[in-house]
Amino acid sequence: MAQEDTRKIGILLFPEVEELDAIGPWEVLSFWTRNFAGDGWRVFCFSADGSPVTCAKGLTVAAHHAMDELPALDVLLHPGGRGTRPQLEDGQHLEWVRAQRRSVPLMTSVCTGSLVYAAAGLLAGRPATTHWASLDRLAELDPTIDVRPEERFVDDGDLITSAGVSAGIDMALHLVARLASPERARQVRRGIQYDPRPPV
């Protein structure tokens, strides 16, 4: 498939992003796109200026692109973490999110990334979820949101939100099933040996 025909998934990185919010979906989506290139997708990470970011627990992660040099996205993934708190009051970031909504066919979030979407007005009147400790905050940001506290992720067509941290892995596997096929998602899950069996 020609490079220009390849569809693109962008994962946003920002200071104090929760590591697994970004890296969990990256593991799923990069395994998929690297091992099944014929499906016609690729995934990359980007930050505001293209510089590496230091995540919530101290891991430093490099970006592939800066915001202003992004290729057109088919899917945007906005992670959560402590770094989303200032974004809720950051008019420039919220306007950037609204601009993505106008051009990106599928918007997704992990954990408190959905709070940013709510603050930007993207979740008005729609079902959504977030980390269990931020469900009340999600409802406060926009009382019209149909908050789904028991859902691992909520697929509302052109917008998918997922619950906290590790839920991003489940959401990413759902993306593979939706964008490719359930069988492909099973192959990816097997490939990364994701079969949760908590010890407690």
**Looking at residue 200, what is its pLDDT?**
87
- pLDDT for 87 equals 98
The reported pLDDT for the residue numbered 5 is 84
- Residue 52 lies inside a defined structural domain of this protein: yes
pLDDT at 150: 96
Asked if residue 53 belongs to a domain, the reply is yes
User: Is there a domain that residue 199 lies in?
Assistant: no
CATH assignment of the domain containing 92: 3.40.50.880
* Inside any domain, residue 198: no
Does residue 33 fall inside a structural domain?
yes
Residue 196 forms part of a structural domain: no
pLDDT digits (tens, 9 = 90+) for 84-115: 999 999 999 999 999 999 999 999 999 999 99
Beta bridge partners of 47: 66
φ/ψ bin of 164: left (φ > 0), alpha (ψ from -120 to 50), beta (otherwise): beta
* Dist CA 179 CA 196 (whole Å): 23
3-state DSSP assignment of residue 110: coil
C-alpha to C-alpha distance for 169 and 85, rounded to whole angstroms: 22
Residue 54, SS3 per DSSP: strand
CA-nearest of 121, 53, 56 to 85 is 56
The answer as to whether 34 is a domain residue is yes
Taking 50 as the pLDDT cut, the residues of the chain under it are: none
Is there a contact between 129 and 137 (Cβ–Cβ < 8 Å)?
no
Query: Quick one: which H or E segment has residue 116?
Result: helix 113-119
Q: In the chain, what is the straight-line distance between the N-terminal and C-terminal CA atoms, in Å?
A: 45
Which amino acid makes up residue 22?
A
Residue 197 lies in a domain: no
How many structural domains are present in the chain?
Answer: 1
Structural domain boundaries enclosing 121 = 3-191
Q: What is the pLDDT of residue 193?
A: 97
Active site residue 111: yes
- Catalytic entry in 9, 53, 63, 111: 111
